[in-house]
Amino acid sequence: MGKKGLLETILNDYLIGYLEAIEDGIRRETSSFDRLLAMVESAMEYQRTHHRKARLVLREMTLDSMLVREVMASYFMKEKHYFSLVYEQGRKQGVFTQMRKEWAILHLRGMITMPFLHAQYIREVFHLEPNDDTFVMHYMKHVKQFIELQLCTDHKTKDLPIPMTI
């Protein structure tokens, strides 16, 4: 097996586990909101426990190659499908806003991948460890707040800080 074959094996192995983690999040919960949150938490936890592979895979996905196109067409289309199903279900139930599902998924995907794609930046600039339990716990609070405020139709504003005026 050459370098390309090794890379393909690593990508496939990682992405199979990543999708299984998302599927697990879907199965764990019943409400659309809880499912979406569980999907994100499961994806974050999977990346945290496989942070070296996550960084390699996420960096590789920024390149345009035949292998990347194949991976996008299979694994990431399936990821999009899962998020679309849950988001559409929540919209029909009146849980989620009418934000275009593409934008909602892109925002969530960016939040899911950022700590692991930009791990060195987070370490060097903010002196935080993105694969640490505490970091992920605090980061997930931020992600949950984003989901509640940006994606949900009914959110609690009484607990939110008053925005600063400039």
* DSSP codes joined into one string, the chain: --HHHHHHHHHHHHHHHHHHHHHHHHHH--SHHHHHHHHHHHHHHHHHHTHHHHHHHHHHTTS--HHHHHHIIIIIHHHHHHHHHHHHHHHHTT-B-SS-HHHHHHHHHHHHHHHHHTHHHHHHHH---TTSHHHHHHHHHHHHHHIIIIIBSS---TTSPPPPP-
pLDDT in tens, the chain (166 residues): 788 889 999 999 999 999 999 999 999 989 999 999 999 999 999 999 999 999 999 999 999 999 899 988 999 999 999 999 999 999 999 999 889 999 999 999 999 999 999 999 999 999 999 989 999 999 999 999 999 999 998 754 444 444 444 4
User: So what's the pLDDT on residue 155?
Assistant: 56
Q: For residues 31 and 131, give the distance between their C-alpha atoms in angstroms, rounded to a whole number.
A: 28
User: So what's the pLDDT on residue 140?
Assistant: 95
| Cβ pair 30, 95 in contact under 8 A | no
Q: What is the pTM of this model?
A: 0.88
In the block, residue with structure tokens 């716990």? 137
User: So what's the pLDDT on residue 123?
Assistant: 96
User: So what's the pLDDT on residue 58?
Assistant: 94
Q: pLDDT tens-digit profile of 113-131?
A: 999 999 999 999 999 999 8
119 phi, psi to nearest 5 deg: -60, -45
- Measured CA to CA in angstroms, residue 38 lies from 7, 24, 45, 58, 147 at distances of 29, 8, 10, 21, 12
| Cβ pair 155, 95 in contact under 8 A | no
